Amino acid sequence: MGNNQTTLAQNFKKAMGGKSIYIIAIIFCVVLAFATPLFATQQNIINIMLQMTIVGIAALGQTYVIITGGIDLSVGAMITFAGCVSIDLLLRYGMWVAIVGTLALGILFGFINGFIVAKARIEPFITTMAMSMIIKSIMLVYTDGYPRYVREGVTEANPNFGDDFLQIGGGKVFGGLPVPFLILVIAAVVLGILLSKTRFGRYVYAVGGNKETARLSGINVPWTQIRVYIICGLTAALAGVVYAARIGTAQTTMGDGYELKAVASVAIGGTPLAGGRGSIDKTIVGALIYTVIANGLNLLGVSSYYQDLATGIIILVAVIINERSLRKQ
Amino acid sequence: MPEIVLKLEKICKSYLGNMVLKDINLELQKGKIRALLGQNGAGKSTMMKIVSGSETADSGKIILNGKELKKLTPMEANKEGIGIVHQEFAQCLDLTVAQNIFLGKEPLTGAKMVDRKKINEMAKELLLELKIDLDPEATLRNLTVAQQQMVEIAKGVQSNPSILILDEPTAALTLQEVQNLFEFLRHLKARGVSIIYITHRLQEIEQIVDEVTVLRDGSLIGTKNIEDTSMEEIISMMVGKSSSEQFPKREQRDFGEEVLHVENVGLDDRLTNVDISIKQGEIVGLAGLAGCGQKELAEVLYGIRKPTSGTITFAGKKLEANVRRAVENGMGYISESRKKDGLFLMHSIKNNSSIADLKQFERGGLISQRRERRSVKEVVDSIRLKYTSLDMEAQYLSGGNQQKVVIAKWLCKQSQLLIINEPTRGIDVGAKFDIYSLIHDLARQGVAILVISSDFNELLGICDRLYVIRDGRITAEMNNDEITEEMLMLTATREA
């Protein structure tokens, strides 16, 4: 009997090896569903989808960077810049220019980050922290500190100005699925396939696993690094556009703190900051857990003074459990 | 009766079931200089680490001045008067010369702070005595390797040891520095200090040494007075009888066209006028003592370093210094440190093996898992890799199987030339044979192979042809049938 039980438990552990983060996510949801009747309602589930969108998108690019053993602390600044620029471009040139132009800007910032990290070989932490300051400052000079509003473009001749753009953040498709969440899903699928099924994806893991081996195996290490920062800049810009479209405005602090929220999502998902391992699906689960914690604490009416305390503890516990299950493998 | 200061009785040591020292008995007299000789892996360094307390023997006794030392730690060994100069120095590069010499034994002021003035004075005095021209306040990072070596020596003698162990102290030194060191050693000897001197440079020992002890494969082969022996005898003691069963039988093969042609290649002062050539299916050895430029040559060939002169032609194309180009053209490099730069330890056997040529598995931009698995499985089965699953992480494999995974990487790429540096370092004896047969198999399939090794027995066991490299120059080229290991050793050690 006892023997049987252990093998059963072992088999279960083996099957779930490295996947314990999914179990943690499910446990969280079940506990909250019992703790408050407000949790498992359709409205709240849509809320969670919306809440996890911005951090989720930003965390996708961050995952790539972290797997190469880097980190991008300029994500928050890039989100803010992208939000402001997208509305400016929208007011002048319309939605498509706003989207394409902003994403191009994200690519440019990402390229600069990657170029400095790969070619000047400056620590990613320092590089992107400095870039974060630079981007923030340029943004303050550029906006002069004033917020932007999508509806500024409304005139008598064009009373519906900005409706198309606001759909990106507030629209619904397929009978209720929020558009931003759909964007997150599409971005996650595309970036997930790129990471797990292509040569470039393998190189990302290789660079994070062992730079020297990667180089001697004929991999272009600097170019791989530059590309992951470009992807991170791109997802940060996309997050900024979606964010601006959701709230219809952009101001100079909107992206503050998102760099660490993105890192937290990646880490909760079980991707080690040392690089070489990790995946997009784990990051999505990480972002979900991060969002569900905040959402649940709100629903339970926990004072905002205590919320970060609870979040911090829950993150630590989740990461510890995940680490242990990995080590047991 | 001469006074015995150090006595080793039946010292045994094994790592992971691998016996590296077997029943070592040794007696060292006061005021004598003893050379400890042997090939790489013979157990010299391990033996000295045991004596100096940084390793513990599995069994046996260390008796110092009639007293048995038990559970020796480096600190205690030092207190008992055993000083050691390690081969790989453990130094704090950002501290000064004086701080390094007196690390852990700093003179203190009344307020228990390090007495900076005193430490510098003491270091100055010591350096003067050693005839080392160095500023005690210089930071170690700014010194040359030779200067760092001298600091290490100063550190070893700083505590006035009664027994001083030097592990290859002259590898990085110039001739003049070696002479200064020898003069100082003679001076120590006159003061009654006993010295154990490990070296690969046989020509040095006649100048300075009184007795010679030879180790081979973890056993002590014998001890001789330097007057009663000859270089030939010492070498044959080091080499031992060649055991044919160590290596797969070499067979006569026909070689194909020339794959690699190196002409007049130079690299600063590390390589001079190197000419070598390798044909398809040929196994060529590069024999030399440690630090004679073989690693540099490998790195130049592979494009890691840019040669300062000369040309490298590979498969009919002139190569620039570019690793990616070298890999694309079909060159593969297996370095001597597979964990550091040969493997992705946390990644699977499959991902390690396929990484150098993922293009062949791509269909419509995506990697076909099916093709990749099939291909990798074929390759790793052909080299008799032991594994339970292709998804097993490389870190959980044994040294020999890890080496096979690195080889698999270049087989998946279908490389035409493999440069293998120390093919069997850190691999146990049984698995060595497997690696050797694998190298033969590859050659039979037409792969050209350049083997670099400091184990001459190994080179003679597997190579068709050999180059001898000394101080960055190719000093001899010979066919395997024409030479013995003794001759090879003589050629590699002889002053040019």
A220 and B341 in contact by Cβ < 8 A? Answer: no
pLDDT level of residue A94 (50, 70, 90 thresholds): confident
* pLDDT, mean over chain B: 85
A206 interface with B at CB cutoff 8 Å: yes
What does pLDDT average to over chain A? 89
ipTM entry = 0.84
Q: Which residues in chain B are contacts of A220 at CB distance < 8 A?
A: 324
Residues of B in contact with A219 (CB under 8 A): 324, 355
Given pLDDT bands bounded at 50, 70 and 90, which one contains residue A3? very low
> Where are the strands (E) in B300-446, listed by range?
309-314, 317-318, 331-334, 362-363, 366-367, 417-421
Please count the other Cβ atoms lying within 10 Å of the Cβ belonging to residue A177: 14
Q: What is the average per-residue pLDDT within B245-263? A: 84
With a cut of 90, say whether residue A54 has pLDDT above it. yes
Average pLDDT of B139-162? 83
Cα–Cα dist B99/A18, whole Å: 47
Q: What pLDDT, on a 0 to 100 scale, did the predictor assign at position A217?
A: 94
DSSP one-letter code for B416: S
pLDDT beyond 70 at B375? yes
Kindly report which listed range (A200-214, B66-80, B343-357) carries the lowest average pLDDT score. Answer: B66-80
Q: Among A35-44, A80-89, B85-94, B249-258, whose mean pLDDT is lowest? A: B85-94
pLDDT recorded at residue A1:
40
Residue A7 has pLDDT above 60, yes or no: no
Residues 6+ apart with CB under 8 A from B308: B266, B267, B268
CA B410 to chain A, closest CA, distance in angstroms equals 9
Name the band, by pLDDT with cuts 50, 70 and 90, for residue A328. low
pLDDT above 70: residue A238: yes
Q: Which of B323, B347, B362 sits opposite A199 (nearest CB)?
A: B362
**Nearest-Cα residue of chain B relative to residue A205:** B347
Over range B166-174, report the average pLDDT.
78
Question: What band does A18 get if pLDDT is binned at 50, 70 and 90?
Answer: low
Q: What is the DSSP string of A28-76?
A: HHHHHHHH-TTTTSHHHHHHHHHHHHHHHHHHHHHHHHHHTT---TTHH
User: What mean pLDDT comes out for the span B188-192?
Assistant: 87
Which residues from chain A sit within 8 angstroms of residue B343, using beta carbons?
210, 213
Show Cβ contacts of residue A2 under 8 Å, excluding neighbours closer than 6 positions.
none
Q: What are phi and psi of B82, to 5 degrees?
A: -105, 115
Position A329 pLDDT exceeds 80: no
Kindly list the residues of chain B whose beta carbon comes within 8 Å of any beta carbon in chain A: 302, 304, 323-324, 326-328, 333, 335, 340-347, 351, 354-356, 358-359, 362, 365-367, 409
Do residues B379 and B414 make contact, with C-beta atoms less than 8 angstroms apart? no
Which residue in chain A is spatially nearest to B395 when comparing CA positions? Answer: A209
Residues 6+ apart with CB under 8 A from B15: none
Kindly indicate the confidence band of residue A2, based on its pLDDT and cuts at 50, 70 and 90.
very low
What pLDDT, on the 0 to 100 scale, is given for residue A234?
A: 97
Taking the whole predicted model, whether its pTM rises above 0.80 is answered as: no
Q: What is the structure's pLDDT at A9?
A: 57
